[in-house]
Amino acid sequence: MKNPPELNKVEVGDIFRQYGQAYRDSHKLPLVILKAMSSIEACRTAALGGHVDECDSCKHTRISYNSCRNRHCPKCQSLAKERWLQARKDELLPVNYFHAVLTIPSELNPLTLINQKELYDILFKSGRETLRELGNDPKHLGAEIGTIAILHTWGQNLMEHPHLHCIVPCGGLSKDGKSWLFPRKASKKKPFFVHVNIISELFKKKFLDYLIKSYKTGKLKFAGKITHLGQNTEFKKLCDNLYDKKWITYIKRPFGGPEQVLEYLGRYTHRVAISNERILKLENGKVIFRYRDYRDGNKTKLLKLEVFEFIRRFLLHILPNNYYKIRYSGIFSNRNRTKKIKICKELLGITKEKEEPEKPQSWEDLLFKLTGEDPRICPSCKKGRMVRSGELSPVINPPPKEQVIAK
């Protein structure tokens, strides 16, 4: 790869502030996308208001504008991720974990774009049931497993690529709830769950069964380039081709203990389509960003897109309103989580629970953990502490943003 162009610290918010209105003027967009764009444009600017801190020693002042907290905003996910991981810390079990990636074929991408909620629901349901059914099968395990499933909809080049990242413990709770069972082909040196081909075939069957059911019940919409799929013969042809195709599924090597699982989960849970760190330059109406080409030896390359095309691709991955992208099942399901995790820990030899749960960390503590910089210490004299001295009301049509700290 050639040396990357000189960095100019451009972010998604900068691109939206400069070109977002022109894009909205030329494209008809749903309300959920308009709200996401508006939030990202306003994030950490005077438009959302903020506060002023003053050093109690040297009187240095600092303005901090509020974050938008939109789940699609690249600037707002680091702290959200840390809070989520902190909440999961005591729920992980002292066993190896597997990472399964379940992907639907690219032929389904046009249908998914028009039927996001329906197709994403089918993806979650078929993925959950595939892993649960194989876990319950005595040939493989014969126990209730737990799954944390995370939806991603993008590839490195920002194009459509819907898939699930599933985190699964090595083993499960016996049907009578009295023992923890490990997979029959597993050993301490070579943990194993189910062969990837078995998972792939069952996942394909379940997904297509649910897809055909949705078609027959009239839940799918067809428009534009996929209007022809509304005809029975064309839809059947698509499904037949998908049945004959090998679906891509991965089972990645297992992690170690809970700490490694937390670190790995952090890479996937609160990702958005592209991080600001990958964007290198915005000039002459074009965006340049880094991407990893998995088809070419995992090489890092540069991609240059017209700014409207960059915005279009980013907006492909705005999820439907109130749609949950992280879901839990089995022993991790919300209904049974506390009770079943306690049973599993006891069966695995953890009998002593913490007397008091850890208190949630403040945003200042989390920011210090992420960056190594404590926002409570004066950046000027390095001795005094920054104390809140005033509030800033939101400003309509604010001037260009300043570099400020998250709140």
Amino acid at 16: F
Nearest to 397 by CA among 111, 48, 47: 47
pLDDT at 170: 87
pLDDT at 48: 95
Q: How many CB atoms lie within 10 A of CB 92?
A: 22
Contact (Cβ atoms closer than 8 angstroms) between residue 330 and residue 147: yes
Q: Return the bridge partners of 377, or none.
A: 385
pLDDT at 59: 95
pLDDT at 190: 55
Amino acid at 73: C
Distances (CA, A) of 143 to 131, 132, 203: 11, 9, 19
Tokens of 15: 């691109």
Q: Return the bridge partners of 103, or none.
A: 163
Q: How many CB atoms lie within 10 A of CB 49?
A: 16
- pTM for the whole structure: 0.88
Domains, the chain, in order of start with CATH, read: 78-273+316-347 (3.40.1310)
List Cβ neighbours of 336 (8 Å cut-off, separation of 6 or more): none
351-368, pLDDT tens digit by residue? 765 555 566 677 777 777
pLDDT at 214: 98
3-state DSSP call for residue 169? Answer: strand
Mean confidence (pLDDT) of the chain: 88
328-350, pLDDT tens digit by residue? 999 999 888 889 999 999 999 88
Measured CA to CA, the distance from residue 386 to residue 374 in angstroms comes to: 10
* Below-70 pLDDT ranges, the chain: 1-8, 185-193, 253-258, 352-360, 370, 398-407
Rg (CA), the chain: 24
Is the Cα dihedral 226, 232, 234, 236 positive or negative? positive
